[in-house]
Structure 1
Amino acid sequence: MASGNPGIGGAGRSANEPVRVVVVDDQELFRRGLTMLLGSEDGIDVVGEAGDGAEGAAVAVATVPDVVLLDVRMPKQSGIEACVAIKEQVPMTKIIMLTMSDDEADLYEAVKSGASGYLLKDSSIEEVAQGIRVVADGQSLISPSMAAKLIDEFKTMSRPERATGPALKLTDRELEVLRLVAKGLSNRDVAGQLAISENTVKNHVRNILEKLQLHSRMEAVMYAVRAKLVELD
C-alpha cells in the first residue's frame, strides 16, 4: 500500500482547469473511439493513452493526469496491477476501472488497490464523462449494477478488525463524515447533513484517508465496516 498522500481533488488541478485523463485499454478500436469521444466533452482533456497495464502506468507517471481509465484485464500487466503501480508512484491521480467484467472479485480487488470508480463498458459516454468529473472532484463512483455487489461484500465480512491504531485517531466529526460517506452521500450532501462547508468535508475525508493510510473513499468505508466503526443497513 502506498504511503504517499492520496490527495482529494486530482493531481493539483484547480477548479477552472480541464480534467486531464489517460485512457488505458488493450482494444485499440475501443480506446481510440473513447479518446475521441472524451475529447469532445467540455472540461476533459485526454493527455495520453496506452494499450496495456505496464505502458499505462508509465504514461501516467510521465503525464501525472487527474484520472486514469483502466481496463481490468489486459496483457503484460492487468488493470489491477497497473492501479497499484500508479497509486504508488502518482498517488494523487484517481483511477476508474472501465471494464466488461461484472465479477465482484474484480470490483473488490479494484477497490482494495485504490480505484475510486468502477464502470462497465456498456455505460454511455455521458456516464463515463460524468464519472471522470465526479472522481476528479474526490468522490467515488460505481455502476449501479455493481453497487449492490459491493454492499453484499461489506455485509459478508464476518471477521472484523479491531478498531485499534489509526482508527482510534479519528475524531468524532471524522466518524460522522465516514458514516455518511458509507451511506453513499456526496461531499455536498454530507455538508448539508452536518451544516458545514463542502471544503470542510473534503478536508475531513482527506484526513480520514491519511489516518487510515488508505487510497480512496470506498477503501475507507470497507475498512470501517470490517472494524465495526460503521454499520450498513
Structure 2
Amino acid sequence: MTGAEPEVRVLLVDDQELVRSGLRRILRRRAGFVIVDECADGADVPAALAANDADVVVMDLRMKRVDGIEATRRLRRAGDRPPVLALTTFDDDELLSGALRAGAAGFVLKDSPAEDLIRAVRTVAAGECWLDPTVTARVLATYRQAARPSPAHHRLDQLTARERDVLEAIGHGLSNTEIAATLFISEVTVKSHVGRIFAKLDLRDRAAAIVYAFDHGVVTPGPNPASR
C-alpha cells in the first residue's frame, strides 16, 4: 500500500468461515484494506451495513437462506448502497449472469490469484466494474440470451458516436484509465462521456451500463479490447 492509496473498507459475506479467513488474509490492512464486518448469510447484510461504513461488499453467491443474488438485488433496491463484487467457487454462467442482472458491479472466481482479488475489490470500491476475464465472454453470452431489449427503453440514438464507443468499452469491463488509453482521449474526457451516457440512458451505475450494453447488442461477447 502506498501513502496515496486510501484504505478500502470491506464487508465480507460468505457462509464458510474458512473462506472468510482466507479472504481476511488477502484483504489485510497492510495491503490497504479494513474488514469492517463479516456475515454468514445474505439476510444479515442490511444490518451489517447499517452498523458499518463499507466501500464494497464482497458477496458469496451460494448461501443457505438468502443467497448472494437476492441479497444484491435487495441492496440495489435500497438505493445508494456500496457496490457488490460477486464471489463464487462455481464456474456457473447462469449464476454469474444472474449476479449481473441483480446489480453486482462485477464478479471474480474464488480460485483467482490473490492479486486479481485485490485489484477486483479496489476496482469495484472505486465505482468501476470487474469482470473475471476467464469467464466473461461465456457469462455475458448467457446474459444476452436471457435478456431481451425493451424497445420502449432503447435510447441508443441519443448517444454520439464517441459516447457509444465509451459505452462499448464499459460493456467490456474496461476502467476509465483503460478506456482513455484505448480511445486515445484523456481520463477527464472519459468521465464526462460516462456521465452523459448515464444521464441519457437513465443508468444508475457502471454495472447497469454493462447490462444495458449487452441487452441492446452494443457489445458482442468476446475478448476484451484491452488486457488487464
Shorter-normalised TM range: 0.7 to 0.9
Percent identity reads 38
Residue pairs, 1:79-118, within 5 angstroms: 79-89=68-78, 91-118=80-107
Matching residue of 2:11: 22
After TM superposition, give the deviation of residue 17 of structure 1 in Å: 2.0
Number of residues of Structure 1 aligned to a counterpart in Structure 2: 219
After TM superposition, give the deviation of residue 144 of structure 1 in Å: 2.6
Preserved contact between residue 129 and residue 174 of structure 2 (Cα < 8 Å): no
Matching residue of 2:45: 56
| 2:74 aligned partner, one-letter code | A
After TM superposition, give the deviation of residue 132 of structure 1 in Å: 0.7
Distance 2:157 2:110 in 1: 39
Which of 11, 26, 31 in structure 2 is aligned with 1:37? Answer: 26
Residue 122 and residue 41 in structure 1: after superposition, are their counterparts in 2 closer, same or farther (change >3 A)?
Answer: farther
Preserved contact between residue 94 and residue 142 of structure 2 (Cα < 8 Å): no
Q: Which has the higher contact order (CA 8 A, sep 6+)?
A: 1
Matching residue of 1:129: 118
Secondary structure at the counterpart of residue 129 of structure 1? helix
Matching residue of 1:173: 162
After TM superposition, give the deviation of residue 24 of structure 1 in Å: 0.6
Query: Structure 2 regions of 5+ residues with no counterpart?
Result: 223-228
Residue 232 and residue 101 in structure 1: after superposition, are their counterparts in 2 closer, same or farther (change >3 A)?
Answer: closer
Residue pairs, 1:180-195, within 5 angstroms: 180-195=169-184
Preserved contact between residue 61 and residue 89 of structure 1 (Cα < 8 Å): no
Distance 2:204 2:153 in 1: 19
Matching residue of 2:67: 78
Residues 200-224 of structure 1, C-alpha deviations (whole Å, 9 max, x = no match)? 3234324433543445434423323
Preserved contact between residue 24 and residue 71 of structure 1 (Cα < 8 Å): yes
Distance 2:49 2:147 in 1: 37
Matching residue of 2:225: none
Residues 178-208 of structure 1, C-alpha deviations (whole Å, 9 max, x = no match)? 1222344331122134443213323432443
Distance 1:168 1:92 in 2: 31
Preserved contact between residue 11 and residue 36 of structure 2 (Cα < 8 Å): yes
Matching residue of 2:136: 147
Q: RMSD in angstroms over aligned alpha carbons? A: 2.7
Residue 133 and residue 50 in structure 1: after superposition, are their counterparts in 2 closer, same or farther (change >3 A)?
Answer: same
Query: Structure 1 regions of 5+ residues with no counterpart?
Result: 1-14
Residue 226 and residue 124 in structure 1: after superposition, are their counterparts in 2 closer, same or farther (change >3 A)?
Answer: closer
TM-score where L is the length of structure 1: 0.79
Distance 1:158 1:69 in 2: 25
Residues 114-138 of structure 1, C-alpha deviations (whole Å, 9 max, x = no match)? 1112111112322211111122223
Distance 2:144 2:65 in 1: 34
| 1:27 aligned partner, one-letter code | Q
Preserved contact between residue 109 and residue 132 of structure 2 (Cα < 8 Å): yes
Preserved contact between residue 115 and residue 216 of structure 1 (Cα < 8 Å): no
Distance 2:111 2:218 in 1: 35
Deviates more, 1:204-213 or 1:138-147: 204-213
After TM superposition, give the deviation of residue 89 of structure 1 in Å: 2.9
Residue pairs, 1:198-209, within 5 angstroms: 198-209=187-198
TM-score where L is the length of structure 2: 0.81
